[in-house]
Amino acid sequence: MVQLYTTLVVVILLGVSNAQNGTSNSPYQLVKNYTSENFFQSFDFFSGPDPSNSFVTYLDLDTANDAGLAGYISSSALNDSYAVFLGTDFKNVTPDGRPSVRVQGRDWFNHSLIVADIMHMPSGCGTWPAFWLLGQGAPWPRRGEVDIIEGINNNSVNTLALHSDAGVSVANLTSLRHGNHSAMTGTFTSLDCDVGSSNVGCAATGSPESYGADFNAQGGRVVVTEISADVIQIWSFERDNIPQDLSEGLPNPHHEANGSSWGAPEVKFVNNGNDTFDDHFINLQPIFNTAFCGSWVEAFWHTSECSSLAPTCESYVANNPAAFVDAYWAIGGLQVYEPNGNYTSGYSGPELGRLLNHRRHHPRTVKGY
Ligand SMILES: *[C@@H]1O[C@H](CO)[C@@H](O)[C@H](O)[C@H]1NC(C)=O
Ligand SMILES: *[C@@H]1O[C@H](CO)[C@@H](O)[C@H](O)[C@H]1NC(C)=O
Ligand SMILES: *[C@@H]1O[C@H](CO)[C@@H](O)[C@H](O)[C@H]1NC(C)=O
Ligand SMILES: *[C@@H]1O[C@H](CO)[C@@H](O)[C@H](O)[C@H]1NC(C)=O
Ligand SMILES: *[C@@H]1O[C@H](CO)[C@@H](O)[C@H](O)[C@H]1NC(C)=O
Ligand SMILES: *[C@@H]1O[C@H](CO)[C@@H](O)[C@H](O)[C@H]1NC(C)=O
Ligand SMILES: *[C@@H]1O[C@H](CO)[C@@H](O)[C@H](O)[C@H]1NC(C)=O
Ligand SMILES: *[C@@H]1O[C@H](CO)[C@@H](O)[C@H](O)[C@H]1NC(C)=O
Ligand SMILES: *[C@@H]1O[C@H](CO)[C@@H](O)[C@H](O)[C@H]1NC(C)=O
Ligand SMILES: *[C@@H]1O[C@H](CO)[C@@H](O)[C@H](O)[C@H]1NC(C)=O
């Protein structure tokens, strides 16, 4: 049996209190509840060469567990339950790439609300971790990619992105307000989701302390991704700010419609292209991985504070095992909800309505946001 004994301190497990009193208007119903009890029966370990060509060796379950890189982590705050631990080798000099893991869900999703209780994430010089969704059943990027948590080195701000083939773009809602409320807390850095030649996709930077050591210092966060036909949005909740309906297992995120307490998401990708998102984000598979170096890190190594540690990322990652002791994921749980009979899109704000009503009529340039 997979088991590790490491101790974490600050945790609140989402979904432990599941009081349902039938008075909710939740448009969602729970379809999957991955916990430490079933996670390793529900996710496969990818152990081939890294498709992203980074400086990593992905281990299979048995090898990773034997090496202490995958298993359960105990937490005093969880009483006798465990969180899922996905780690990185921090003992060996590894000239052929640092060992870590990449796990991929056996279940795939379309329209859904994906709730991830992340207690700790990898960070530090040379790291490139991600929690993301990869569309299955056709070569990338035909069925899309949704990057929920991703970044490099010592970043403290998350990068959130969609990647697709041609025909998908999003509106810049960075400065849009609904009354006194911002539509989102992050900032769009690019609006064309087509990977094209640069593979940037449409992307936004998140709010402060949404990534890395700062994220971990808060005991992590609960990160929620909603996938619908014309809107994909991602919230990042600090532990003292988790909506009650979400904690109760009756999530109702459509605050524009009914004034629920979710507040602004980090990013709101509102379709501004000719096609619905449904044509481009299909069979989405959840993935957690920890990579090292690779094109993104290499592009910034020489201008980052990390460059003082070693001339190249690969020399740093290969030769400094002890630096990677904190490069691990600790996952309190992952729940997936799908729309129920009460589902309506809920995006009735006048600005969004205007954007969405114009779909397919003409290519739109969104001005004034
Ligand atoms: C998920 O399962 C855990 C463990 O069985 C349980 O405590 C929790 O309430 C469940 N979450 C939801 C949202 O039902
Ligand atoms: C359950 O009922 C209580 C009291 O009637 C109410 O405050 C609470 O919001 C309800 N919970 C949900 C999820 O509807
Ligand atoms: C742990 O147990 C204590 C005492 O029974 C209880 O108050 C607390 O809510 C429990 N914590 C969790 C996360 O279940
Ligand atoms: C997602 O939608 C596509 C297209 O309608 C369908 O073929 C596929 O089976 C759906 N996948 C899931 C996981 O429901
Ligand atoms: C950046 O990360 C390295 C380890 O990878 C660490 O030694 C250094 O203190 C970090 N710098 C900051 C400013 O956090
Ligand atoms: C939408 O279709 C128009 C007309 O075919 C085309 O010019 C435009 O580039 C398309 N927009 C996107 C984002 O592909
Ligand atoms: C917006 O905030 C101002 C100042 O706090 C307040 O007077 C006003 O009522 C608010 N408007 C709305 C629509 O909430
Ligand atoms: C989106 O709008 C914000 C603020 O209005 C601006 O700072 C940012 O550069 C814009 N992003 C893009 C990709 O146009
Ligand atoms: C829709 O909401 C009502 C309460 O508002 C609830 O009784 C009913 O079970 C919900 N329907 C579904 C399919 O969840
Ligand atoms: C908003 O509340 C109304 C009345 O309770 C309900 O009919 C509607 O379904 C709710 N909408 C959403 C998106 O929750």
Per-position DSSP letters for 190-247, written without gaps between them? E-B-B-TTT---EEEE--TT-SHHHHHHTT-EEEEEEE-SSEEEEEEE-GGG--HHHH
| Residue located nearest, by CA, to atom 12 of ligand 2 | 24
Domains of the chain: residue spans and CATH: 7-357 (2.60.120.200)
CB 202 within 8 A of CB 192: yes
Predicted pLDDT of residue 80: 66
Over the stretch 334-369, which tens digit does the pLDDT of each residue have? Answer: 999 999 987 876 554 444 444 443 443 333 322 222
Q: Is the pLDDT of residue 47 over 90?
A: yes
Q: Tell me, what DSSP letter sits at residue 304?
A: S
Q: Cα-atom radius of gyration of the chain, to the nearest Å?
A: 20
Measured in Å, residue 226 CA sits from the centre of ligand 6 at 26
- pTM of whole model > 0.75? yes
Mutate to test the pocket of ligand 3, among 35, 75, 79, 117 (most ligand atoms within 8 A of CB): 79
CB 269 within 8 A of CB 233: yes
Phi, psi of 66 (to 5 degrees): -60, -35
pLDDT bracket for residue 78 (50, 70, 90)? low
CB of 155 closer than 6 angstroms to any ligand 10 atom: no
Over the stretch 98-109, which tens digit does the pLDDT of each residue have? Answer: 999 999 999 999
CA distances from 145 to 46, 139, 270 (A): 17, 11, 15
CB 88 within 8 A of CB 293: no
**How large is the average pLDDT for residues 73-94?**
84
Predicted pLDDT of residue 362: 33
Phi, psi of 145 (to 5 degrees): -145, 135
| Residue located nearest, by CA, to atom 13 of ligand 10 | 346
Mutate to test the pocket of ligand 9, among 258, 260, 340, 343 (most ligand atoms within 8 A of CB): 340
Per-position DSSP letters for 120-158, written without gaps between them? E---STTEEEEEEEEE-SSSTTTT-EEEEEE--TT--S-
**How large is the average pLDDT for residues 265-269?**
95
CB 83 within 8 A of CB 4: no
Q: Among 196, 359, 353, which Cα is nearest to 274's?
A: 359
Structure tokens at 175: 């400065």
Q: Is 303 helix (H, G, I), strand (E, B) or coil?
A: coil
Q: Among 266, 260, 146, which Cα is nearest to 205's?
A: 266
| Residue located nearest, by CA, to atom 6 of ligand 7 | 180
